[in-house]
Structure 1
């Protein structure tokens, strides 16, 4: 259980995580709380969508869809990878979610197949992002777009102390047969083209959460351990900050910080 982020917190966590963003006019007050009489929060997770269209910012922010008033998410993510904040209040993005899946999100456990007999209103308690893609299985998510997508999810999880188990796709929660998000991804970090799956997104968010918010995927350089090296001395000489030895240890899965030997190959984070 967590209190929804304030505008100031949104700005802070996205900036720290390296998400480039703009603010749609009125995003700090726009929402469905007053119209529905239902407040947004407490929040328990994050729901991911594709727009199934192009140039969808106006629809997501203020235009809405047939029989579905805007805002349709908290954030719109176009191909450029520059996120647009459209609301920090209740948004029409989740609809009815299978209660058993929702419970798994809250518990950060593996998501089960939807039991459609019991539902919860996901708009009450889930953050939502609409990522621009036609959803036809051919339209490609750009490298910048996917990188921002991972960072956006990680920023929320990091702020609330959640794991990647707190994020889901609409296809995993919906009792209406939603298929989003899906489609090919241009690449991510050192990875080339691949097919989007929520399993992969969760893995990439999980990996990101193991590092400082300033970390970038694939941003490593090789280093060969010299005689007399310690992780502290390597961090001080190569990264300019001896306190970053913990990043080196985590990046190389070193349980014992002193267990390095001359000639050993290490990966160093970007300076």
Structure 2
């Protein structure tokens, strides 16, 4: 049993664990406390979003939808390993689950298979949504899994919990299948190892290195380059994929069609959305630097 962390304590715990935090406007007071209890808290629930793209996933989890109003979690963990804080307090993420599972989490004993849905999980768990389609094929980049581990460990350390206080949504209720694509047993093992040592050093603002615009002529030569692969992965992450296979390292029509989707997402039309990269749209895409 624990009193929920204040916004300042949560932020401090995450940063002390080396988490790359993005604070979104209003996160400190955004919650659904008017709908029910928030606390005492007993653990952390990990989810996947069934969506693509950082910005769109954050917006979905912040605002929710007609059948399930937001916020839908406390933070969104994107594929680049950033944790977007969007809420503090009760959130619509866990729903109802099994009281036997809750007792096992509190005792940090092996989890039973969830059966009944008779307990309000939104009052008892922090929730983090991870950007992933949840189809078992969408990759989990190392940076994202590291952020899931660090975020979970930070909250456990702040409350003096062990790794047994971190569960997947599918372990809370049989009605859910998330997260899919890695095992919770493996995650808890990594969290347990991390908790045995001092937290990671605090991290300040991170200035990532992005690939400079290689010039319009670069793409006209149908290049074979890791830059094309990195670009394609960013387009997929932003929900602008026209790929059937890949992306790969050779510039192709699928790359052009995907890039056209990105240009349209930025609001471009006509010749400005023909799929051939320009400096402004390239800089906005933030392609990671590669050699």
The two structures share one fold, judged by TM-score above 0.5: yes
1:65 deviates by 3.1
2:108 maps to 1:108:
yes
Distance 1:127 1:197, change over 3 A: same
2:30 maps to 1:30:
yes
Q: Residue in 2 aligned with 1:133?
A: 132
**Whole-angstrom distance in 2 between the partners of 1:149 and 1:126:** 15
1:213 to 171, 191, 199: 199
Higher helix fraction (1 or 2): 2
**Whole-angstrom distance in 1 between the partners of 2:166 and 2:147:** 15
Would the aligned equivalents of 1:74 and 1:127 in 2 still touch at CA under 8 Å? yes
Q: Residue in 1 aligned with 2:188?
A: 202
Q: Secondary structure at the match of 2:46?
A: strand
Give structure 1 stretches of 5+ with no counterpart.
Answer: 184-195, 216-271
Q: Deviations over 1:141-160 (max 9, x none)?
A: 11111101100000000000
**Whole-angstrom distance in 2 between the partners of 1:211 and 1:66:** 44
- Mapping 1:68-147, distance limit 5 Å: 68-116=68-116, 119-147=118-146
**Whole-angstrom distance in 1 between the partners of 2:43 and 2:27:** 20
Would the aligned equivalents of 2:153 and 2:163 in 1 still touch at CA under 8 Å? yes
**Whole-angstrom distance in 2 between the partners of 1:50 and 1:67:** 18
Q: Residue in 2 aligned with 1:61?
A: 62
Would the aligned equivalents of 1:99 and 1:115 in 2 still touch at CA under 8 Å? no
**Whole-angstrom distance in 1 between the partners of 2:82 and 2:6:** 20
**Whole-angstrom distance in 2 between the partners of 1:137 and 1:39:** 34
Would the aligned equivalents of 2:150 and 2:191 in 1 still touch at CA under 8 Å? yes
**Whole-angstrom distance in 2 between the partners of 1:17 and 1:103:** 27
Q: Residue in 2 aligned with 1:236?
A: none
Q: Secondary structure at the match of 1:145?
A: helix
Aligned residues: 198
**Whole-angstrom distance in 1 between the partners of 2:96 and 2:131:** 22
Q: Deviations over 1:90-129 (max 9, x none)?
A: 000000111111110111110011132x621100110000
Mean Cα deviation higher: 14-23 or 206-215: 206-215
Q: Residue in 2 aligned with 1:242?
A: none
**Whole-angstrom distance in 1 between the partners of 2:25 and 2:91:** 16
- Structure-1-length-normalised TM-score: 0.71
Q: Deviations over 1:189-247 (max 9, x none)?
A: xxxxxxx10000000000000011027xxxxxxxxxxxxxxxxxxxxxxxxxxxxxxxx
- Structure-2-length-normalised TM-score: 0.67
Q: Secondary structure at the match of 2:93?
A: coil
1:66 deviates by 4.1
Q: CA RMSD in A?
A: 1.1
Would the aligned equivalents of 2:115 and 2:173 in 1 still touch at CA under 8 Å? no
Give structure 2 stretches of 5+ with no counterpart.
Answer: 202-291
- Mapping 1:224-239, distance limit 5 Å: none
Higher strand fraction (1 or 2): 1
> After the TM superposition, which parts of structure 1 deviate over 4 Å for at least 4 consecutive aligned residues?
none
